[in-house]
Amino acid sequence: MIGGIFDRYWGAKIAVRFAVIVSIIPAILALENLRRLLAEVEKSSDAMALLVRLSVALVPEHLSAAVPVALMLASALTVRQMILRGEWQIAAAAGMSRLRIMAVPLAFAALVAGAQFAIRFELRPAGERALDAIYHELQTGEHGLPLPVGQPIELDAGTTIFVGGIGGGGTRHLEDVVVRRGEDSFSAPRADIGFSPDGGVRLRLRNGVGVIGAGPGQARAVRFDRMDFSGRPPASGVVDNDAMHQFDMLSGGALLQKARDGTPLERRLALTALVMRADSVLFCLLIPWFAILLGKPPRRKESAAGILVAIVLVVLHLKLAASIEANFAAHVLLAEMLNLGLWTAAAAGLVYLEQAHGEGVVDVLIARLVEPLRRLRRDRRALRGRPAAPRAGGAEVVPFSPGSRRPAMGGSFVPGPERSVSAVPLPKAAAR
């Protein structure tokens, strides 16, 4: 019956480790993205507030990546500790079957899969929408004008502007602006600028002068009260306008609606998004099988190579999911069925290997693969004149006798000179 002392003890250990790891990984990812976020908001009028908003909006994305890693590590580290302490063996000796012991990590994985469902279908799309809104605010100049002062800015393929200063107080006024379009130049002490959400820029010079070509080798100066320019600078938008990104911002219900009522392209993209979100949830149910089998060390050893393999498997799953989403959207259902089938077969293969070769079989295989490298290292040390480290269990046991000696290059027992073999009386048992 689930819920006994062993189950509560087993589940509490997994839950504590999971909570710690799932808190650490998003913090590490946030620190990794800190420099990029600072570069995006450093020219805004309220950089710190925007930095906090961006960091909070990224939390669901970081959590969705941290959940499978935390579940794998929490389960693997817990079973490793229980085996090293003998608690796993006690449970098995008490008559608990493999499936009965696995009931606790499987139940915990089901809870984590539910949390991953909420993250991927609701929280992460909300975070994507919040990020999109912040980037639109930055692009439209609501937090200051993100323009480099004193450097050329391409308004379009044939127009370049130079800005001498930006008005304070979050205004959209530029100072000492020069615009060059082909052979013509225009300058004004003041200009107004506006941004559109699609990355377009509108510039209006006020009370300026211009120098325009009037013929071969001739120029003409003009004065103007107002002159407008517009264009779309290359890569001016910070908002991702990719079609798949637009579906990343939709919740699960909105995706289902698009998959039913949208255009053929919308239905395909919505189905791809739904399948890949479901993949991250279903994989959580497979994780305990990998974690328990890879977390067990070999008997009478404390190797932890299997835990590193478990982490590699989680990363490999994330990479495969991204590859399916990017390259197999036209046949996403078939690709996903094949993907889950391969992971299920891998878990079943690990179960078979453990039953056939014992616990910690992956660690043993890795040790065998590494052994030639260790032997080569010992041989190199011996060639350099350094004594190789003695191998465990390699010492030779030699019987000891007060009047005996051992030859320099042999392993057999040699009687001392003062006592010949014939002088040693044989035991009665030997004489018989």
pLDDT digits (tens, 9 = 90+) for 39-90: 878 767 678 888 999 999 999 999 999 999 999 999 999 999 888 888 888 8
Structure tokens at 387: 């004594």
Among candidate residues 187, 183, 203, 186, the one with its CA nearest the CA of residue 195: 203
pLDDT tens, 276-304? 999 999 999 999 999 998 988 887 777 78
Is pTM, for the whole model, over 0.85? no
Q: What is the mean pLDDT of residues 269-277?
A: 93
Strands (E), 182-264: 184-195, 201-215, 218-231
pLDDT value for 60: 95
Phi, psi of 356 (to 5 degrees): -85, -35
The per-residue pLDDT for range 339-393, each reduced to its tens digit, is: 999 999 999 999 898 888 888 888 888 878 877 877 787 777 777 765 555 554 4
pLDDT for 240 equals 54
The CA distance from 382 to 375, in Å, is: 11
Residue given tokens 């899969």 in the structure block: 113
Residues 343 and 340: their CA atoms lie apart, in Å, by 5
Q: What is the mean pLDDT of the chain?
A: 81
Specify the pLDDT at position 37: 87
Residues belonging to the chain: 432
Indicate whether 2 pLDDT > 70: no
pLDDT of residue 259 exceeding 80: yes
d(CA 314, CA 116): 15
Token representation of residue 135: 């980037």
Q: Which residue, 126, 112, 122, 120, is CA-closest to 17?
A: 112
At 271 the pLDDT is: 93
When mean pLDDT is compared over 190-194, 223-227, 398-402, the highest value belongs to: 223-227
